[in-house]
Amino acid sequence: MKAEIITIGTEITIGSTLNTNAYYLAQKLFELGIENHYQTTVDDDAQRLKDVISIALNRADIIITTGGLGPTKDDMTKEVIAEVMGLELEHNPEMEKHIQDMFTRIGRCMSSNNRKQATKPEGSIFIENSVGTAPGIYIYHKEKKIIMLPGPPREMRTMFENHVKDLIQDDYIMLTKSVNTVGIGESSLESRLNELNLAYENINIATFARDGRVEIKLIGKGLSRQEIERDMDEIIARLNVEFREYIYGYDNISLEEVVVNQLMQKGLKIGLCESCTGGLVSSMITRVPGASNVLDRAVVTYSNEAKMEELNVKSSTLKKYGAVSEETAYEMAKGLMEKVNLDLVASITGIAGPTGANENKPVGLVYVCIMSKDRHKVIKLNFNGNRIQIQNRTAINVLDEIRKYCRDFN
Amino acid sequence: MKAEIITIGTEITIGSTLNTNAYYLAQKLFELGIENHYQTTVDDDAQRLKDVISIALNRADIIITTGGLGPTKDDMTKEVIAEVMGLELEHNPEMEKHIQDMFTRIGRCMSSNNRKQATKPEGSIFIENSVGTAPGIYIYHKEKKIIMLPGPPREMRTMFENHVKDLIQDDYIMLTKSVNTVGIGESSLESRLNELNLAYENINIATFARDGRVEIKLIGKGLSRQEIERDMDEIIARLNVEFREYIYGYDNISLEEVVVNQLMQKGLKIGLCESCTGGLVSSMITRVPGASNVLDRAVVTYSNEAKMEELNVKSSTLKKYGAVSEETAYEMAKGLMEKVNLDLVASITGIAGPTGANENKPVGLVYVCIMSKDRHKVIKLNFNGNRIQIQNRTAINVLDEIRKYCRDFN
């Protein structure tokens, strides 16, 4: 069974609405184990919609459309689909009464064009819309399943959850598992993946990169849940060995959640001293509910004065080595550690650009110091990119260092 | 000239990534006045990609693809397009050297599969990628324009802005102007817009909302630049009167840039004390180049101890009124103002949730204090939404308050 998602509406093709319907439906189809390789969007135009439906009927068994079921003249989804499939439209008195009742209930008048919503292609059935006026429509004709859903996301989602799942589910089982890594580039990760030669018939492996992190996604499909799970466990065991250093978690967990959880489990309190990242690491950690259990405070010491006053960085250090130096990173961390009773401090100083560089210190140079009561390390980093990328990549790197520190903490 | 947008990637068809690229490109094509009726998404599969390209070549003059230009085996866009168009792939030594240099600069090794990025279809030209490794590609062949862009949104957008616009523009003159507002909801803004009755033949007006800000976009198209500019000036003059209070800037400027510029112009130094936003306001301000001229420091006082130690908040105040209160917000700002020689301090304390609420203080309650040497105000805010939305909306609100303070500062 192959599905295609067709989202209909000029508001999408002119870029006024972000297409979250296709996103939602793709996720749901994926979870149901239904193959879905195409998404098409087309504006409110009868001829073009006709072409799109014809193309989809050639390459998919299930077609899910959203949009174009309302009462206005721009709404033409069922009319066009009926025409393409050679079906007549029939008026349904029960549905008309149902819509009429709904309007009465909310004390409004049913306009004559709402009557249009009570028609459907012959042989099709209405799908109940519990949160709006436009009903959905289901056609099963010549071994194709066509499901027409309304465009408003809430109506579409409610209808999908309540009715559509049962109409399209097949016997296959689909399982996914993500292995999340940080600190290794996508291309070198993939070369190493290829060398592992993980050839399993039922399982596809794909990688997705984002801001210094790479997700390894396993997608298993088959008739036996047990078999898929066994194969997945085997693959994950191999990945755990090969990429041990880089794996920070599985499935939907984010790096900042992992960091907060680890700090919480080990009962560690952390403080941050940020310069070039300007509070980004702190704001990422505080996105996680419960962050207040582990983050005591952060000091964004953007100016040299702030570094000296808040963190006791020596004026002579700043003069001799500069604000972006191993020595300053160390003194920043030491300053906070001596001032507050913390288990762990991370300090960051660097050049995010576009200005601030000199011959020996290019844009993208960053020093990070991770310090606990009894030890510390200073890490020198170099990043490419614009100001925001350098800040983002630095933040990810710092979170990763905190993660590694926690992991090894006894 | 008709365009089609093709977004390529299994991460989209399995619903793991929201397709913001199609959204962005649709908006841009609309602004350029280029008709665009179809968007297609297809997974990383050579045969299906081939079919999609063939269909698009039949119905569009300009095809813009995103994705599939990276170094891995899943990346096959240019290979497939070359094949469909009957073009050979050729290796480009200059591009290889360019990529090699980039890796050398960041002290990493170029893996052998990065070499793939230095090939292109015969007769095509590379489009420079100033923010990543994968170059784009432009083909003009048999009266069709094919533009291949990388998938990562930032790279795609930068490339589009810098190079692609010029490649696809036609004879019409297209002018756009954005009026950016904050502090007014999209629907009430739109009702007021409608009442203004701004009916100009050559100019469309659309609104786009994002995180507490609404952009009013004017899109003018015609053969006379002078006429469009005159009409636009008229409209903007009316908007400036109607929405004076809410307008923070025009075109691509962000609220944080406006704030940094204003502080810079007036020669003001600011300090921040953040609690529930965890450094977000500070990190937004420091995204702007030159932020170091205006931001002296930020203190993220997440714990009560930090509030007392860093900002001299009285223990009795915390006990009596709680950490989320008008009184605490005031004392936080006062603490930093007394400690450091600053012109302006903003403090934030609130409940971002999901925990921390009680009967009198719901999730979403936030107090903000804006303080200068001779005056201050405390603002009480209430937001709906999840933790991250509350943090984002609070940050936007604080930036807006700083903006208004600066505007009125003499």
ipTM of the complex: 0.72
Residue at A308: amino acid letter: M
Sign of the alpha-carbon torsion through B45, B50, B55, B57: positive
pLDDT score at A166: 84
| CA distances to A175, B50, B66, B78 from B137, in Å | 37, 17, 11, 8
CB contact at 8 A, A182 and A255 = yes
- One domain, residues A182 and A106: no
Do residues B235 and B280 share a domain? no
Residue B160, domain CATH: 3.40.980.10
Do B157 and B12 reside in the same domain of the chain?
yes
Q: Model-level pTM?
A: 0.74
Q: Which residues of B touch A277 (CB under 8 A)?
A: 283, 286
| Distance in Å, alpha carbon of B151 to nearest chain A alpha carbon | 11
CB contact under 8 A, A296 and B302: yes
Q: With contact defined as beta carbons under 8 Å apart, do B161 and B251 qualify? A: no
Regarding whether A295 and A230 lie in a shared domain, the answer is: no
Domain boundary among B215, B250, B285: B250
- Asked if residue A293 and residue A206 are part of one domain, the reply reads no
Tokens of B2: 């008709």
Contacts of B45 in chain A (CB under 8 A): 37
Is there a single domain that holds both residue B207 and residue B268?
no
- The verdict on a CB contact (< 8 Å) between A353 and B105 is no
Q: Which residues of chain A have pLDDT under 50?
A: none
CA distances from B204 to A41, B22, B222, B236, B246 (A): 23, 21, 12, 13, 21
Contact B302 A292 (CB under 8 A): yes
Chain A closest-CA separation from residue B96 CA (Å): 16
Q: Nearest-CA distance from B36 to chain A in Å? A: 6
d(CA B4, CA A224): 41
Question: Longest C-alpha distance within chain A, in Å?
Answer: 87
pLDDT of residue B123: 92
Number of folded domains that form chain B: 3
Nearest CA in chain B to A285: B278
Shared-domain flag, residues B74 and B122: yes
Is the same domain home to B353 and B300? yes
Chain A residue numbers with beta carbons less than 8 Å from the beta carbon of B15 are 23-30
Domain termination site, one of B152, B168, B184: B168
Query: How many other CB atoms are there within 10 angstroms of residue B14's CB atom?
Result: 23
Choose the mutation target among B214, B280, B299, B302 for the interface with A, i.e. most A CBs under 10 Å: B302
CATH assignment at residue B200 = 3.30.70.2860
Distance CA(A277)–CA(A136), nearest Å, equals 49
Let me know whether A149 and A181 are in one domain: no
Residue B256's pLDDT is 97
| C-beta atoms of B51 and A43 within 8 A | no
Q: What is the pLDDT of residues A16-73, one digit of tens each?
A: 889 999 999 998 898 787 889 999 999 999 999 999 999 999 999 999 999 999 877 7
Query: According to the model, what pLDDT value does residue A13 have?
Result: 93
A91 & A155 share domain: yes
Domain holding A24, by residue range, is: 2-168
Q: Chain B: residue nearest A390 by CA?
A: B287
Chain B, nearest residue to A22 by Cα: B15
Taking an 8 Å cut-off on Cβ atoms, the answer to whether A38 and B52 are in contact is yes
Any idea what the CATH number is for the domain that residue B391 is in? 3.90.950.20
List the Cα angle A31/A289/A245 in 5-degree steps. Answer: 70
Answer yes or no: do A221 and A318 share one domain: no
B408 and B266 Cβ atoms separated by less than 8 Å? no
CA-to-CA separations, A336 to A333, B159, B162, B277, in angstroms, rounded: 5, 42, 44, 21
Query: DSSP string spanning A54-78?
Result: HHHHHH-SEEEEES--SSSTT--HH
B372 Cα to chain A: minimum distance (Å): 19
Question: Closest Cα of chain B to A95: distance in Å?
Answer: 32
Within 13 Å of residue A160, how many CA atoms lie on the same side as its CB?
Answer: 23
CB contact under 8 A, A40 and B37: no
Residue A201 C-alpha from the chain's centroid = 27
Q: Is B247 helix (H, G, I), strand (E, B) or coil?
A: strand
Residue A340 C-alpha, separation from nearest chain B C-alpha, in angstroms = 9
Last residue of a domain, one of B192, B219, B250: B250
Query: Which of A34, A187, A210, A389 should be substituted to probe chain B, the one whose Cβ sees the most B Cβ atoms within 10 Å?
Result: A187
Identify whether residues B50 and B86 lie together within a single domain: yes
Q: Do B309 and A340 touch (CB under 8 A)?
A: yes
pLDDT less than 70: residues of chain B: none
Do the Cβ atoms of B277 and A286 come within 8 Å?
Answer: yes
H helix count then E strand count, chain A = 15, 17
